[in-house]
């Protein structure tokens, strides 16, 4: 599933191709995507990201609010199949989505604020901290996936950050020490920034330290990586490093 880094990469690409341009064409192949016919002629004034959402701000005050779902991605040359396409004079963005869970709809600025207000803090914002974890007894891995606490972190990057910080994913979040919280905050930021730096080829280039490496040796201590279920999600960790 696209998480904060993948969504940020998409948003940056969309900003380059669509930002500042006037919409000349909207092609919808899936009626589940609720797009009105009057988008043509509107100018895309800005492309923003909040958590796992992308917003195309239009010059009439409306927003095209996009969630990539599990398999959503934008391409800029026509793929064999796509759910919709939106084009300006500077280029066309094609929305691919194999599993069809992505969402796209046009909302008012007020409606968008109400939707995004439910999200927690942005991990890459200057004032980001993990104070929110002090108020929940859930396993820290489960808490990190709660978008109401922290916006944008998903399964892959939560696992990677916990491994880097040497914190077991089942540790109760409110039992983490000040030093553990400091390390975890630092490593959340590091894994997200590293992933964003891969750019559009992230899926081809990225290699994880612990995610999806069950049975393989830990890069630090050579202990075989284990997998457990937490909150219904596969969770990878090193029993040697993350006690």
Active site residues: 2-3, 52, 233
Tell me the sheet residues that pair with 236. 227
Kindly state the tokens that stand for 191: 């894994």
Spell out the residues 6+ positions from residue 3 whose beta carbon is closer than 8 angstroms to its own: 52, 152, 153, 154, 155, 156, 157
Nearest CA to 64 out of 23, 29, 31 is that of 23
| Cβ proximity of 120 and 149 under 8 Å | yes
The torsion region of residue 22 among left (phi > 0), alpha (psi -120 to 50) and beta comes to beta
């Amino acid at each position: 599933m696209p998480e904060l880094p993948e969504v940020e990469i998409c948003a940056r690409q969309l900003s380059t191709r669509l930002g500042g341009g006037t919409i000349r064409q909207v092609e919808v192949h899936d009626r589940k995507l609720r797009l009105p016919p009057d988008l043509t002629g509107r100018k895309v004034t800005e492309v923003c990201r909040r958590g796992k959402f992308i917003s195309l701000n239009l010059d009439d005050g409306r927003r095209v609010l996009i969630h990539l779902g599990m398999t959503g991605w934008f391409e800029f040359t026509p793929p064999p199949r796509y759910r919709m396409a939106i084009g300006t004079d500077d280029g066309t963005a094609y929305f691919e989505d194999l599993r069809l869970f992505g969402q796209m709809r046009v909302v008012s600025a007020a409606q968008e604020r109400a939707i995004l207000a439910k999200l927690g803090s942005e991990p890459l914002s200057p004032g980001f901290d993990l104070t929110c974890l002090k108020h929940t007894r859930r396993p820290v891995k489960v808490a990190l996936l709660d978008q109401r606490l922290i916006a944008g972190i998903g399964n892959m990057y939560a696992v990677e950050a916990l491994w880097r910080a040497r914190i077991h994913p089942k540790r109760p979040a409110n039992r983490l020490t000040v030093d553990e919280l400091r390390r975890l905050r630092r490593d959340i930021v590091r894994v997200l920034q590293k992933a964003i730096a891969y750019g559009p080829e992230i899926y081809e280039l990225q290699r994880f330290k612990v995610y999806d490496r069950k049975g393989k040796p830990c890069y630090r201590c050579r202990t075989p990586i284990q997998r457990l279920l937490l909150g219904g999600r596969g969770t990878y960790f090193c029993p040697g490093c993350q006690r």
